[in-house]
Amino acid sequence: MIRVTRERRRASSASVIYGLPDDELVATAKALKQLCGSGGTTKNGAIEIQGDHRERIVAWFLARGRCAKLAGG
């Protein structure tokens, strides 16, 4: 199960994606950064995208047949 959460980072927020296999992290992070038009990174088995793009990210996973859901606030 892929979980997409929002976390506060200083004065802004970041969308964090958990639950992806380690071999897919880099390629998925690159595709999501292009989709959202923002920066991001992979840390500790998670993808962090700058800004609150949760709905767009979940829709991207669902369009590719992956099970993803919003988590947290």
% of the chain residues with pLDDT over 70: 99
Average pLDDT, the chain: 92
Does residue 17 surpass a pLDDT of 90? yes
Instruction: For residue 73, name the pLDDT band (cuts at 50, 70, 90).
Output: low
Q: The domain 2-70 belongs to what CATH superfamily?
A: SUI1-like domain (3.30.780.10)
Q: Which residues of 28-66 are buried (b: 16+ CB within 10 A; e: fewer)?
A: bbeebbeebeeebebeeebbbbbbebbebbbebbeeeee
Query: What residues does each domain of the chain span?
Result: 2-70
Does residue 72 surpass a pLDDT of 80? no
pLDDT computed for residue 63 by the predictor = 95
pLDDT tens, residue by residue, 45-66? 999 999 999 999 999 999 999 9
